[in-house]
Amino acid sequence: MKKSDYTILIADDDPDYLFQTVFNLERAGYKTMAVESQAEAEAVIAKSRPDLAIFDLMMESDDSGFILCYKMKRKYPEVPVILATAVSHETGLSFSIDSEQEKSWIRADRYLEKGIRAEQLDQEIMKLLKL
Amino acid sequence: MAVLKVLVIDDEPGIRSGVSRILNNFHVTYPFMDEDYNFEVTEAATGEEGISILERDMPDILLLDNKLPGIQGVEVLEYIRNRKYDIVVAMITSYASLDIAVRATRDGAIDFIPKPFTPQELKSSIENITKQQYLKRITHKMNQEGKKIRYQFLSVLSHELKAPLNALEGYLRMMQEKQAGDMVDDYATPIERSLQRIQGMRNLIMDLLDLTKIQLEVKEGKIREVNLAEVASAAITTVQPYAIQMDVTINLDVRSDVVIMADPGDIEIIFNNLVSNAVKYNKMGGKAEIVIDNSDSEAIIIISDTGIGITKNDVENLFTEFVRIKNEKTRNISGSGLGLSIVRKVIELYHGTINVESTPDVGTTFTIRLPKKPINIT
């Protein structure tokens, strides 16, 4: 399959981050679905199955991203999920989800610091989609 | 029911058993305490024995005789002070020599119980000490919670400051790598959005400065007569360019020329925030009204708009730092989420009140009452 066969769901309440992520992913060749809130993301998940999802951590509530990861994995356990946030150091949320123990409660496949380069994001996605 | 451990160090067996008998059946209760306090008494005949119990049991209250067979009471006090034990000490003294009293107080004793004492005298001393211990514990607990709130504040703050930087960085990279084309015009949206994010960040910084300023409390030297109508007019002038864009009419209704004693900067914060909100969260072509009135003792400011309104649930969080009501209608309105929390802080500083009434899609009314008399400046 080619990149254009994959649809990526992106949820972020920062319109600029959303715009840039969509722009970069489309440039890389993916299809995208962009939403600005946890509620909208939940509605999308209920109706359709994306091939990968990128969720911002803090939206309507401080743990919107965690909740979305959980709901996503319950419905589509095989779809990779990336959790993105701008605050890692300051909140003490400097976790990586490499150990089995961490994987058990953070139901995301990757944890990414916001502001990473477009190429880096593309590489992470390719790894998760096994491209 | 909470238990306070009491250690009595006295070489007279009669005193020790008396303290045990009186306190074992005694409890302290005050209306402001959330539970009653009981006492558990341990006895020691010498300072040395007392110290070993101190280390083992960590009592809350120590009743200490000064004249002891081995080491003296003041030496036990010194021991406690050097090890920074959290314990309240009352001296039991047969004759309170001034010298010992001074030294004991300096070393941390907070009370003196004259010997011989009646059960009532002992009880009232213990009552006082218990009250102090209770307040100390509450203060400690509140400090802990205060730290937690500060921590949350800082983590949200860093999120709010980093988000616009990330946005700017993303747009600049887009331009640097000419990702959307070779012409400047290809980047009209990124440039416009970058400018908006910079403006948002500037507002946040201004609000943060306001916040640090008011947390330093009202400065006596800055208190002067402030004419509310004048401050209101200035706030309207400031927000006018934005009101024109939104086609919002602002009306100022001065029912009474009210002058209060305050720091003019603080009153400006109140008006600037509320008047700009009345425009910002209004509908195109809406109205904003500012009423200035007074009662015998209070100045009354009413600021209302015909805007998007706030739901009952959201009203509860309205004055919390960094809480912005996020919904379809507020999506394109920028704000730091600090304005109303600052307004409330300022009003509380002046012992005033702020109330909000709102109906979604109809409008919001803020009513502020400020005492006209000069406040007690802290």
Does residue B24 carry a pLDDT above 60?
Answer: yes
B94, B110, B143: which is the final residue of a domain? B143
Q: What distance in Å separates the CA atoms of residue A111 and residue A68, rounded to the nearest whole number?
A: 14
B93, B110, B143: which is the final residue of a domain? B143
Whether residue B327 lies inside any domain: the answer is: yes
How far does CA B161 lie from the centroid of its chain? 23
**Pair B264, B234: CB distance under 8 Å:** no
For residue B175, what is the nearest residue in chain A, using CA coordinates?
A20
Taking CA atoms, B22 is separated from B3, B16, B58, B103, B287, in Å, by 15, 10, 21, 28, 72
Of A18-32, B21-35, B340-354, the least confident:
B21-35
Q: What is the pLDDT of residues A96-123, one digit of tens each?
A: 444 455 445 556 788 787 777 888 889 9
Does residue B97 carry a pLDDT above 70?
Answer: no
- State what percent of residues in chain B have pLDDT above 90: 31
Angstroms from B339 CA to nearest CA on chain A: 19
Tell whether B230 and B132 lie within a shared domain: no
CATH for B372: 3.30.565.10
Of A44-48, B139-143, B218-222, B371-375, the least confident:
B218-222
Tell whether B241 and B343 lie within a shared domain: yes
Give the structural domain span for B94. 2-143
**Average pLDDT of the segment spanning B13-30:** 88
Of the candidates A9, A17, A11, the residue with the CA atom closest to the CA atom of residue A115: A17
> Residues with Cβ < 8 Å from B371, sequence gap 6 or more?
B260, B297, B298, B299, B350, B351, B352
Whether residue B340 lies inside any domain: the answer is: yes
Tell whether B231 and B90 lie within a shared domain: no
Does residue A85 carry a pLDDT above 50?
Answer: yes
**Average pLDDT of the segment spanning B124-150:** 75
Of the candidates A56, A124, A63, the residue with the CA atom closest to the CA atom of residue B166: A56
∠B150-B151-B155 over CA atoms, to 5°? Answer: 115
Tell whether B139 and B231 lie within a shared domain: no
Is pLDDT larger for residue B318 or for residue A11?
Answer: A11
Tell whether B241 and B92 lie within a shared domain: no
pLDDT of residue B219: 64
pLDDT of residue B362: 92
Of A11-25, B200-214, B292-306, the least confident:
B200-214
Whether residue B152 lies inside any domain: the answer is: no
pLDDT of residue B43: 94
Tell whether B139 and B245 lie within a shared domain: no
Contact B166 A90 (CB under 8 A): no
Contact B170 A14 (CB under 8 A): no
Domains belonging to chain A, first-starting first, are 3-128 (3.40.50.2300)
CATH for B20: 3.40.50.2300
| pLDDT band per the 50, 70, 90 thresholds, residue A27 | very high
> Mutate which of A10, A12, A20 to disrupt the B interface (most B C-beta within 10 Å)?
A20
**Average pLDDT of the segment spanning B30-49:** 85
The amino acid that residue B311 corresponds to is T
Q: What distance in Å separates the CA atoms of residue A56 and residue A13, rounded to the nearest whole number?
A: 8
Domain count, chain B: 2
Does residue A65 carry a pLDDT above 70?
Answer: yes
Tokens coding B296: 């015998």
Does residue A44 carry a pLDDT above 90?
Answer: yes
> Mutate which of B162, B172, B198 to disrupt the A interface (most A C-beta within 10 Å)?
B162
- Return the sign of the alpha-carbon dihedral for residues B138, B144, B147, B152: negative
| pLDDT band per the 50, 70, 90 thresholds, residue B223 | confident
How far does CA A80 lie from the centroid of its chain? 8
Question: Which residues of chain B have a CB within 8 Å of the CB of A13?
Answer: 326
Whether residue B229 lies inside any domain: the answer is: yes
Tell whether B234 and B375 lie within a shared domain: yes
Of A77-86, A100-109, B64-73, B170-179, the least confident:
A100-109
Question: Which residues of chain A have a CB within 8 Å of the CB of B337?
Answer: none
**Average pLDDT of the segment spanning B83-110:** 76
Tell whether B273 and B370 lie within a shared domain: yes
pLDDT of residue A28: 93
Contact B326 A13 (CB under 8 A): yes
Question: Which residues of chain A have a CB within 8 Å of the CB of B197?
Answer: 16
pLDDT of residue A36: 92
Q: pLDDT averaged over chain B?
A: 84
Strand partners, B225: B261
**Average pLDDT of the segment spanning A51-77:** 86
Tell whether B266 and B135 lie within a shared domain: no
A 10 A CB-CB count for B98 gives 7
Contact B170 A16 (CB under 8 A): yes
> What residues of A are in the B interface, CB distance below 8 Å?
13-17, 19-20, 23-24, 27, 36-37, 58-60, 86-87, 90-91, 114-115, 117-118
Taking CA atoms, B91 is separated from A18, B222, B336, B340, in Å, by 69, 47, 56, 52
| pLDDT band per the 50, 70, 90 thresholds, residue B378 | very low
> Residues with Cβ < 8 Å from B353, sequence gap 6 or more?
B347, B368, B369
B143, B169, B200: which is the final residue of a domain? B143
Tokens coding B255: 């029912």
Q: Determine phi and psi for B300, rounding to 5 degrees.
A: -120, 125
For residue B165, what is the nearest residue in chain A, using CA coordinates?
A115
Pick from A73-82, A90-99, B112-121, B367-376 the range whose average pLDDT is largest: A73-82
pLDDT of residue B229: 94
Tell whether B249 and B105 lie within a shared domain: no
Which ipTM value was assigned to this complex?
0.70
pLDDT of residue A128: 92
Of B18-22, B57-61, B94-98, the least confident:
B94-98
Q: Determine phi and psi for A22, rounding to 5 degrees.
A: -60, -45
> Mutate which of A64, A87, A93 to disrupt the B interface (most B C-beta within 10 Å)?
A87
Contact A115 B174 (CB under 8 A): no
Whether residue B231 lies inside any domain: the answer is: yes
| pLDDT band per the 50, 70, 90 thresholds, residue A89 | very low
**Average pLDDT of the segment spanning B226-234:** 93
Q: What distance in Å separates the CA atoms of residue B331 and residue B348, rounded to the nearest whole number?
A: 30
Contact A20 B167 (CB under 8 A): yes
